[in-house]
């Protein structure tokens, strides 16, 4: 049988599922292994699954009208990934989710999640709690984008997500920060001169 323990541990940090509830949950989730470069979701498709990263790393990005790619977020172990807008509305996704490393996910389909929410009211609470947190960090990112220079945003990123920074190419971090790779390179050489 597949090992869903990482997700169960994660959930049990916020709500306590009994054995029966854990069983129901495990019946409706599934394992998925993807290779580096493979897509978990493509822009324009309907986001059928929400994914919990067990190992590996994904980037969420979109391509604008000018063909430019913009990284929206990364996800590593113990993070969720999906296009929430598409997932909750079951309309075409704005975003791609692609693996930056070989990645294993635990996925839940939209329909099964609805079923689980009906059967296990505790999960209603669980998902409320994690989305509250996601919303707060999204707001904080807006605030940083409004009030901080590119250099300070980079320093913040480096402090808060040191694990992510080490695993990911610079040009993707630049995109996440809303700057070009050339400018990030300039910032880094400035920082080296400073210290």
Q: Are strands 103-109 and 29-34 parallel, antiparallel or unpaired?
A: antiparallel
- Closer to a copy of itself at the Cβ: 37 or 178? 178
64 binds, among DNA, a copy of itself, none (CB under 5 to 8 A by kind): a copy of itself
What the block records as the tokens of 80 is 């969720």
Question: Which of 114, 137, 139, 189 touches DNA (CB under 7 A)?
Answer: 189
Kindly state whether residue 156 participates in binding DNA, applying the rule CB under 7 A.
Answer: no
Name the 3-class secondary structure at 19: helix
Give one DSSP letter per residue of 85-122, joined into a string: HHHHHTSB-S-EEEESS-EEEEEEEHHHHHHHHHH-HH
Question: Which of 20, 139, 149, 180 touches a copy of itself (CB under 8 A)?
Answer: 139
Kindly state whether residue 172 participates in binding a copy of itself, applying the rule CB under 8 A.
Answer: no
Footprint (CB under 7 A) of DNA, residues 160-179 = 169-171, 178-179
Q: CA-to-CA distance for 154 and 176, rounded, in angstroms?
A: 10
Question: Which of 20, 89, 119, 180 touches DNA (CB under 7 A)?
Answer: 180
Question: Which of 13, 23, 33, 128 touches a copy of itself (CB under 8 A)?
Answer: 128
Name the 3-class secondary structure at 38: coil
Question: Which of 26, 131, 155, 172 touches a copy of itself (CB under 8 A)?
Answer: 131
Q: Are strands 69-75 and 29-34 parallel, antiparallel or unpaired?
A: unpaired
Sketch the per residue contact string, 176 through 195, with a copy of itself: x for CB under 8 A, - otherwise. --x-----------------
Q: CA-to-CA distance for 47 and 164, rounded, in angstroms?
A: 24
Measured over the CA atoms of residue 99, residue 164, residue 171 and residue 144, the dihedral's sign is positive
Name the 3-class secondary structure at 46: strand
Question: Which of 6, 17, 42, 62 touches a copy of itself (CB under 8 A)?
Answer: 62
Nearest residue to 182 (alpha-carbon basis) of 190, 174, 194: 174
Which residues of this protein are in contact with a copy of itself, per CB under 8 A?
62, 64, 68, 70, 72, 84-85, 88, 94, 117, 121, 124-125, 127-128, 131-136, 138-143, 145-147, 178
């Amino acid at each position: 049988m597949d090992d869903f323990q990482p997700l169960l541990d994660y959930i049990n940090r916020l709500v306590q599922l009994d054995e029966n509830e854990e069983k129901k949950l495990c019946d409706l989730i599934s394992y998925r292994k993807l290779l580096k470069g493979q897509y978990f979701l493509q822009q324009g498709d309907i986001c059928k699954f929400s994914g919990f990263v067990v190992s590996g790393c994904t980037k969420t990005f979109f391509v604008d009208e000018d063909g430019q790619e913009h990284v929206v977020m990364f996800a590593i172990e113990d993070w969720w990934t999906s296009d929430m807008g598409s997932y909750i509305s079951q309309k075409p996704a704005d975003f791609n989710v692609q693996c930056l490393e070989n990645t294993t996910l635990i996925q839940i389909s939209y329909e099964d999640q609805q079923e689980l929410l009906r059967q296990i009211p505790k999960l209603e609470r669980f998902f409320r709690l994690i989305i509250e947190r996601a919303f707060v960090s999204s707001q904080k990112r807006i605030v940083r984008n409004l009030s901080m220079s590119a250099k300070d945003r980079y320093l913040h990123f480096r402090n808060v997500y040191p694990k992510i920074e080490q695993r990911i190419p610079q040009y993707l971090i630049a995109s996440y920060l809303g700057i070009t790779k050339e400018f990030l390179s300039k910032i880094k050489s400035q920082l080296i001169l400073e210290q």
